[in-house]
Amino acid sequence: MATLFTRIIGGEIPGRFVWKDEKCVAFMTIAPIRPGHTLVVPREEVDHWVDAPEELAAHLFVTAQKVGRGIEAAFPCTKVGLMCAGLEVPHLHLHLTPIDEIGDMDFGRQDSRAGAEALDAAAERLRAALRAAGHGEFVPEA
């Protein structure tokens, strides 16, 4: 059975994509800790990050760096935090969150009622920053 993320990647469930390439995608989470909270997800269904082939793991991290730089540009912050927990969906994914303090990575702060307009606006800000950084070939239209 396909994971929730596989269904989003396949278009069965809507997603706010900010990056698409042959190995992974990045999209906005529907319950952001802070505006700009983005997930980097491999197209291949891998449950645990330790089981990811080395080449895929490296690609995910390089993509996370590029998307992270876009987050820094679109959502001014001290750093972009990265977390790979993997308990909520059995499909490897990296959480990228703009942070100014360690508490900004607290999943207890997730906004499960974030409005569609706010999520769409955050996605467009990040897409614009990624295009400005020269990654337009990987940035899908809204």
Give the whole-angstrom CA distance, residue 52 versus residue 61. Answer: 12
> What pTM, to 2 d.p., does this model score?
0.96
Task: Check residue 23 and give its pLDDT.
Answer: 98
Q: Look at residue 142 and tell me whether its pLDDT is greater than 90.
A: no
> Thinking of the domain 4-132, which architecture would CATH place it in?
2-Layer Sandwich (3.30)
- What would the pLDDT profile of 58-85 be if each residue is shown by its tens digit? 999 999 999 999 999 999 999 999 999 8
Domain boundaries, the chain: 4-132
- What would the pLDDT profile of 111-140 be if each residue is shown by its tens digit? 999 999 999 999 999 999 999 999 999 999
Q: Which residue has the tokens 């690609």?
A: 59
Q: pLDDT tier at 86 (50, 70, 90 boundaries)?
A: confident
Q: Give the residue-averaged pLDDT of 47-56.
A: 97
Contacts of 95 by beta carbon, 8 Å cutoff, 6+ apart: 29, 37, 38, 39, 81, 82, 83, 84, 85
Task: Check residue 75 and give its pLDDT.
Answer: 98
